[in-house]
């Protein structure tokens, strides 16, 4: 089987937190983002929603990929603290934008780090979370006479069934199973079809 996707904790939906620090208003927005494009789309939407804000620093973490921006604040005082908040809260596939309205009182470098990092961390801490167990796709082929056995196995393993393609000898379809069940499902299919059914990674050559 191919490399197995790793379970992760993300956000169940969008969440916000507001803080007033030395006359500056900080609005933290956090949401799930599964791709960099998702994250940047959230940023664009918030820029349009709060066009008069002083700054829109942000950070995202999506697996091994991450980016952040201070958006005009002194270097290292906004984007990096937001990213550290994401990592410190143990969440993944997450985008956080902290919108700031300057209130006339300068916070200083340390004050900005605490304000951006703290607001982001509190937003994430109070956000509803979701445990994601990615499924593994398998390309399954069975002769027609073994379709009932296949459907029984799909139910037994809680597998998700994709579109079926009919061939001269049987049916081919993609099924989604939990990674820890992949080997057992493939073996059970072989047993139930006396070796006539196959389940393998769609990208495997064998």
In whole angstroms, what is the distance from residue 162 CA to residue 176 CA? 8
The predicted pLDDT at position 201 comes to 81
The predicted pLDDT at position 204 comes to 56
CATH 3.30.70.240 domain span(s) along the chain: 136-200
In whole angstroms, what is the distance from residue 148 CA to residue 119 CA? 55
The answer to whether residue 3 scores a pLDDT higher than 70 is no
The answer to whether residue 83 scores a pLDDT higher than 90 is yes
The predicted pLDDT at position 1 comes to 43
CATH of 136-200, one of 3.40.50.12640, 3.30.70.240, 3.40.50.300, 3.40.50.1100: 3.30.70.240
CATH 3.30.230.30 domain span(s) along the chain: 8-131
CATH homologous superfamily, domain 8-131: Impact, N-terminal domain (3.30.230.30)
Strand order in the sheet with 136-143: 160-166, 170-177, 136-143, 198-200
Compute the mean pLDDT over every residue in the chain, rounded to the nearest whole number: 93
The predicted pLDDT at position 4 comes to 59
Position 156 confidence tier, pLDDT thresholds 50, 70, 90: very high
Higher pLDDT, 59 or 160: 59
């Amino acid at each position: 089987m191919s490399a197995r996707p790793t379970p992760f904790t993300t956000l169940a939906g969008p969440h916000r937190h507001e803080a007033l620090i030395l006359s500056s208003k900080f609005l933290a927005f956090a949401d799930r983002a599964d791709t960099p494009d998702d994250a940047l789309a959230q940023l664009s939407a918030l820029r349009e929603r709060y066009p008069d804000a002083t700054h829109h620093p942000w950070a995202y973490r999506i697996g091994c990929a991450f980016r952040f921006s201070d958006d005009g604040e002194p270097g290292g005082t906004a984007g990096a603290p937001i990213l550290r908040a994401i990592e410190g809260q143990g969440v993944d596939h997450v985008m956080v934008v902290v919108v700031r309205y300057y209130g006339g009182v300068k916070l200083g470098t340390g004050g900005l780090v605490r304000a951006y990092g703290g607001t982001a961390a509190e937003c994430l801490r109070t956000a509803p979370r979701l445990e994601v167990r990615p499924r593994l796709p398998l390309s399954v082929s069975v002769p027609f006479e073994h379709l009932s056995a296949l459907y029984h196995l799909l139910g037994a393993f809680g597998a998700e069934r994709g579109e079926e393609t009919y061939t001269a000898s049987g049916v081919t379809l993609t099924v989604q199973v939990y990674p820890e069940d992949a080997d057992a499902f493939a073996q059970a299919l072989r047993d139930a079809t006396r070796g006539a059914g196959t389940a393998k990674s769609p990208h495997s050559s064998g």
